[in-house]
Structure 1
Amino acid sequence: MQPTFVLVPGSHASGRCFSALQRELALRGQRSLAVDLPGHGTAGFSTAYQAQDLATFAEEPSPMAGVTHADNVAHVVGLVRRVREHGPVVLVGHSRGGFTVTSVANAVPDLLARTVYVSAWCCVTGTAADYLATPAFRPQTEPGLTPVGDPQRLAAVRMNWRTADPAALKRAWTVHGTEADVVAFLAALDPDESRDAGTDLVDPAAWGRLPHTYVRLTADASLPLALQDHFIEEADALTPENPFDVHTLPVGHIDPLLDPARLADLLAGTADHHSGVR
């Protein structure tokens, strides 16, 4: 039986970011479900944001206030339980979505056939804050983004994507996309994001017994390749009998979402290993 790919988006993103990937998967006969994490899909969208009333936008309450990493995990576990009724589940995370993938795999490994990290966070020996302080985290390009308002008071990180500099973001996010591609991608991003990424580390007794794939993006200027490789090396050292299945794409951070044919091929290849129900 063919698996269903459950797709978990990165920071400020909703399931809409996977629309091109879902189209490519469908053309390969693959099923997929793109996740809107709690608060997303509407997070921060308002009349003030639409009209660029910046004073009001900076002060209005956030729909992400109070949304926690635990909420994200519970939401995805619930979806995985429902999808699992129809066959194997491959859980895929992009970027920040890796935090949720790890926690779900720790919580319900028996419901998953595989996890896939696409240039995604995979914390093994420390939290995100710990990794951010390591030499492996050195973004190659600074997009110059500044949150709107006070993140602590809003209890969320708020960005004004309507006034972002597409040229700077293009340098940080993509090597093949055009500025028009970046503008279209920005239009689908939620202004607000939760401040809580959780503190879960991979559990060798749960996460560690699942097949897991890492898709390295060698031109990623946002989540540096050195940090991606650091995650892989630490995970493989923790579960040497079950190392990452590693694939490499010579693209930037959002390129697999803008032009997803090669990523869809990789995912469809993993489906061949899960034709039986776990």
Structure 2
Amino acid sequence: MSTLPTFILVHGAFANSFSFAPLQAELGLLGHRSVAVDLPGHGFEATYPAAYQAPQDLGALASEPGSIKGVTLADNAARVIEALERAKRNGPTVLVGHSRGGATITAVGNQRPDLVDRIVYVSAWCPVDLTVGDYYAEPEMADVDPAAFAPAAAGNPAELGLIRTNFRTSDPGVLAAFRHAFAADLTDDEFRTFLNTFQPDESLDAGTTADRAQAATWGRIPRTYVRLAADTSLPPAVQDRMIREADALTPDNPFDVRTLDGSHLRWLVHPKPAAELLADLAAG
């Protein structure tokens, strides 16, 4: 059994395991194992409706069914737990979540702290005092305007049973909003390339009050929060608030806080600093 950990990587909303490929290459070159998990309905399980292809049929896109309908946070946690159970046979594990993936890794930590040697949030949701949805009404999120993406929304989430976003839109205003939120410090080509890795559908369930971090289980796991200093999707102010709330929940096991420069997506497009940071955590 190896003493080096396996990194289990959990993606955010509309993303998939593909976005971790550059980071995994860097980790591999540093001698580390990693597994990027596709949550249910993601990766090759995703639905790309025919109406999403060019030329797009926006009317049909608003009504075509998607495989992610009905997927819950509990389903996401079960998928990650399955990967952790297999990885744990080979040695320690480090569970890493990005963005909405933070809600999933929190749920995993609540259920199976025995499988996780360290839990790492990279500008990820760590719901403690509030649910993920409730944080959007807080002052720290005041500069985040979900309405800017509204023209890219396709269909009624209540009717579709999922959230559908047209990332292949040509609307310059929406593209500018996406870039501001996720990738202001990437080149035009890098931004468009990453946008084309997103899938159109995401599940509705981001967790309830019952899915917030629990001191008795999640709170036992050594934890790190990697702040992204120029993130305008999950601003540093709300990242810092969740760190403070978690530390108040379990003051004897506070976050180890690190900071990387860059936007919400830069660490994945230019992953060398992030890989070195994770390798340092493994060595410690």
The two structures have a TM-score, normalised by structure 2, of: 0.92
**Residue deviations 1:84-130 (CA, integer Å, cap 9, x gap):** 11111100000000000101011111111100000000011111122
Partner of 1:244: 255
Which amino acid in structure 2 is aligned with residue 78 of structure 1?
E
Partner of 1:15: 17
Distance 2:70 2:196 in 1: 25
Partner of 1:276: none
Q: Please tell me whether residue 167 in structure 1 is matched to residue 171 in structure 2.
A: no
Asked if the contact 2:49–2:64 (Cα under 8 Å) also holds between the matched residues in 1, the reply is no
Give unmatched runs, 5+ long, in structure 2.
none
Distance 2:73 2:139 in 1: 26
Q: Please tell me whether residue 48 in structure 1 is matched to residue 57 in structure 2.
A: no
Match of 1:130 among 119, 130, 134: 134
Match of 1:227 among 197, 221, 238: 238
Give 4+ residue runs of structure 1 displaced > 4 Å after superposition.
140-143
Change (3 A) 1:249 1:168: same
Partner of 1:150: 156
CA RMSD of aligned residues (A): 1.4
**1:174: Cα distance to partner?**
2.1
Q: Please tell me whether residue 110 in structure 1 is matched to residue 114 in structure 2.
A: yes
Partner of 2:203: 194
Q: 1:210-221 maps to which residues of 2 (within 5 A)? A: 210-221=221-232
Distance 2:142 2:94 in 1: 30
Distance 1:161 1:128 in 2: 23
**Residue deviations 1:168-198 (CA, integer Å, cap 9, x gap):** 3222212421111111111111100001011
**1:259: Cα distance to partner?**
0.7
**1:44: Cα distance to partner?**
3.0
Match of 2:280 among 258, 269, 273: 269
Q: Please tell me whether residue 89 in structure 1 is matched to residue 97 in structure 2.
A: no
Match of 1:182 among 191, 198, 203: 191
Change (3 A) 1:185 1:217: same
Distance 1:143 1:154 in 2: 19
Which amino acid in structure 2 is aligned with residue 244 of structure 1?
F
Asked if the contact 1:170–1:178 (Cα under 8 Å) also holds between the matched residues in 2, the reply is no
Which amino acid in structure 2 is aligned with residue 190 of structure 1?
Q
Give unmatched runs, 5+ long, in structure 1.
274-278
Aligned residues: 273
Secondary structure of 2:7 counterpart: strand
**1:141: Cα distance to partner?**
6.7
